């Protein structure tokens, strides 16, 4: 909620009269109007675990892929068949932490940006521009035309992740559990990289794999920038 307020999406905050002291509530009060209400009213407004606070939000900005590409991004993350909202939120969180300029979600074969996904993102879904596309294969073609390399994360990829130059403008494509990145999407990507494994389990969880690859992007770019 605090990230939503920082992003200017909170219209009003409803706080239970019984809520204890919390520095985050103090910051919320500086960013949006706070109304103190009885705990039972808050429970009626936000059934379930509301932790003594709820908010009325403005609609989330809906980005098109064209608008996202017009921002001249250097790092994008495209998600192919990420159906678990926890994985979706975790990947968005890793993308934002790694300095991604946006994420791309297909309208179909994707978990919705539900409360569970938003919570798992730890506020990243409020900060990261997210564009929805009709299909990833055509979106990959548009991204490539914008001068951005498209790289699929694939357990059977031709090269280890650290052998690809991630200092250039790039869109990382992450697939779901099991099937991974779909064949047509992989075929349209410029490269397919893998994260080598040393144990007996064949691959990483989708969100863990995305985090590892995004950290490799950060590592390469930090080296390229030199000491700060």
Q: Where are the domains of the chain?
A: 2-57, 65-225
Predicted local confidence at residue 6, as pLDDT: 66
Q: φ and ψ at 54, to 5 degrees?
A: -145, 165
Q: Which of 1, 2, 7, 11 is nearest to 128 (CA)?
A: 7
With contact defined as beta carbons under 8 Å apart, do 69 and 102 qualify? no
Predicted local confidence at residue 1, as pLDDT: 60
Beta bridge partners of 172: 77, 151
At the topology level, CATH places domain 65-225 in: Alpha/beta knot (3.40.1280)
Task: Report how far residue 159's alpha carbon sits from residue 139's, in angstroms, rounded to the nearest whole number.
Answer: 24
| pLDDT tens for each residue of the chain, 228 residues long | 666 666 666 777 877 777 666 677 777 777 777 878 887 777 777 666 666 777 777 677 789 999 999 999 999 999 998 999 999 999 999 999 999 999 999 998 888 888 788 888 887 888 899 999 999 999 999 999 999 999 999 988 999 999 999 999 999 999 987 778 999 999 999 999 999 887 767 667 899 999 999 999 999 999 999 886
Predicted local confidence at residue 94, as pLDDT: 95
Task: Report how far residue 212's alpha carbon sits from residue 218's, in angstroms, rounded to the nearest whole number.
Answer: 10
Task: Report how far residue 69's alpha carbon sits from residue 58's, in angstroms, rounded to the nearest whole number.
Answer: 24
User: Pairing relation of β-strands 10-16 and 53-57?
Assistant: antiparallel
**DSSP assignment of the chain:** -HHHHHTT-EEEEEEETT----HHHHHHHHHSEEEEE-HHHHHHHS-S--TTEEEEEPPPPPBPHHHHHTT--SEEEEEES---HHHHHHHHHHHHHTT-SEEEEESSSS----HHHHHHTTTHHHHS-EEEES-HHHHHHHHHHTT-EEEEE-TT-SEEGGGS-TTS-EEEEEEBTTTBS-HHHHHHSSEEEE----SSS-S--HHHHHHHHHHHHHHHHHHHH---
Predicted local confidence at residue 29, as pLDDT: 73
With contact defined as beta carbons under 8 Å apart, do 205 and 87 qualify? yes
Predicted local confidence at residue 187, as pLDDT: 94
Largest CA distance in the chain: 60
């Amino acid at each position: 909620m605090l990230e939503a307020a920082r992003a200017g999406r909170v219209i009003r905050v409803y706080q239970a009269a019984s809520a204890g002291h919390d520095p985050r509530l103090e910051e919320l009060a500086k960013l949006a109007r706070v109304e103190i209400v009885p705990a039972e009213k808050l429970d009626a407004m936000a059934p379930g675990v509301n932790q003594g606070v709820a908010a009325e939000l403005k609609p989330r900005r809906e980005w098109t892929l064209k608008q996202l590409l017009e921002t001249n991004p250097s790092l994008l993350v495209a998600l192919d068949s990420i159906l678990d909202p926890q994985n979706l939120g975790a990947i968005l969180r890793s993308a934002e932490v790694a300095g991604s300029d946006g994420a791309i979600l297909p309208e179909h074969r994707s978990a919705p940006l539900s409360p569970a996904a938003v919570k798992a993102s730890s506020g990243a879904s409020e900060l990261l521009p997210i564009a929805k596309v009709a299909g990833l294969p055509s979106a990959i073609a548009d991204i490539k035309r914008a001068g951005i390399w498209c790289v699929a994360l694939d357990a059977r990829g031709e090269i280890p992740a650290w052998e690809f130059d991630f200092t250039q403008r790039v869109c990382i494509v992450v697939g779901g559990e099991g099937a991974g990145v779909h064949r047509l999407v992989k075929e349209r990507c410029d490269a397919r990289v893998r994260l080598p494994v040393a144990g007996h389990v064949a691959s990483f969880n989708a969100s863990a794999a995305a985090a590892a690859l995004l950290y490799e992007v950060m590592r390469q770019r930090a080296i390229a920038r030199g000491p700060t």
